[in-house]
Amino acid sequence: MMDGYQVIAVVIVLTTLLNYLNRRILKLHPTIGMMLAGILVAVGVVVVGRFNHEIPRRVSLWIANLNFNDLVLKGLLGFLLFAGARHINLKRMVTRLWPIGVFALGGVVVSAFVIGFVFAWLSSMLNLGLSFLDCLLFGAIISPTDPIAVLSILKKVGAPKNLEMDIEGESLFNDGIGVVMFIVVGRVMINPENIHMRTVIGLFGLEALGGIALGWVLGYVASRLIKSSQDIKTQLLVTLCIATGGYQLADVLHMSGPLAMVVAGIIVGNHEDWIEPTCREHMDSFWDIVDEVGNAILFMLVGLELLLVAREVLPEWHTCIMAGLLAIPVVLIARYLSVFAPWLVLRRKFKFSHGVLVIMTWGGLRGGLPLAMALCIPTPDVQVATFHVARSQTLDRAMLLLMTYLVVAFSIFAQGLTITPLVRHFTGGETEE
């Protein structure tokens, strides 16, 4: 069994090699290329396992011991959201605050409930064995979108600034809202008798509003500390303190760490004009590297997680694959409805780019966060032992895992590889101030 340092070393070496191969051979967008490389490694392990049955078992055990959900939800997510939020233009965001807020909240809540109702109906029709709360939990897991791949494409093709802001702001905030909804639905499922609507609203409010308030405080304090020191090393340490200690503080206070990191990142990023240009360049370079390396590691691990997912779904793979294939169109329809409803309300007051509904629907890529949340679902044995759930009422973790993985894979490969011509088709020649 490898210790923590050895695991980190293997992850970094493997990420570096796969990233190098992608840039030299595959030449795909880093998000797409790293996930594909991870999947190819996973398939390679299975092929080698035909000659040595111990190898897939040992690699699967190593991946399981890596604790992907903790690595993402309590590690990488805070860094990635803080790094991404630093580039948000606060003045421009304020002008699009209503669209971003409504898209972010609606994009998760509306999408989750649409998925919950539609999949509950499909489950009863096809005897998949999923209850409405199971399907709602899947909706909360799969609804958050990943802004990274699409935003780089939007910038490359010169998409309108308002479209960039709507997608970037929505994606950053709905990651936090998605985690909050996942936590709330999970608590309702564990103890449904003692949970009432007022309690649910209170939990959601504490997690979401508390996280936003904490992020504002952390961002303001960090900005003042950065301003008072012109030493770049000290300034970098302050931002690292926010991304690590601030995220853990939110967890201790039962507030949303992702939302806290988004708000803190926005505030810090928009007050960096307080520091000297040279220091700001170093700060930007540092966090750009953190962002790129963190995402490379994340999507490489998403690819490798195929080994773990395949191992869990093997006993019921026919049903799981059918459910996963059904989930793809259901998630896309729910995404469209969750974008269409806010657009219908806001279009008279705010200007939207041509094709915004199609671009935001097809460009709503899913990343590592949904898979991390799906992996947080306890195994049936843990559900029975820890939460005293009847064996007949346990969550089908294997099915939810494969449904999530197939949607993420389709999103990254099918949507990610075709979003460029789609954006060019709708936004070619369009400009916005």
Q: What is the pLDDT of residues 57-110, one digit of tens each?
A: 777 777 777 777 777 877 788 898 898 888 888 888 888 888 888 888 877 888
Q: Residues 6 or more apart from 274 whose CB is under 8 A from it?
A: 223, 226, 227
> What was the pLDDT predicted at 433?
42
Which residue's entry shows tokens 């301003």?
A: 227
Q: Are the C-beta atoms of residues 194 and 242 closer than 8 Å to each other?
A: no
pTM: 0.84
d(CA 261, CA 264): 5
Query: Which of the given ranges, 183-192, 314-323, 410-419, has the highest pLDDT on average?
Result: 410-419
d(CA 130, CA 136): 10
The token pair that represents 44 in the structure block: 């390679």
pLDDT > 90 fraction of the chain, expressed in percent and rounded: 15
| The pLDDT of residue 117 is above 90 | yes
d(CA 365, CA 244): 26
pLDDT digits over 264-309, tens only?
A: 999 998 876 667 777 788 888 898 888 888 888 888 888 878 777 7
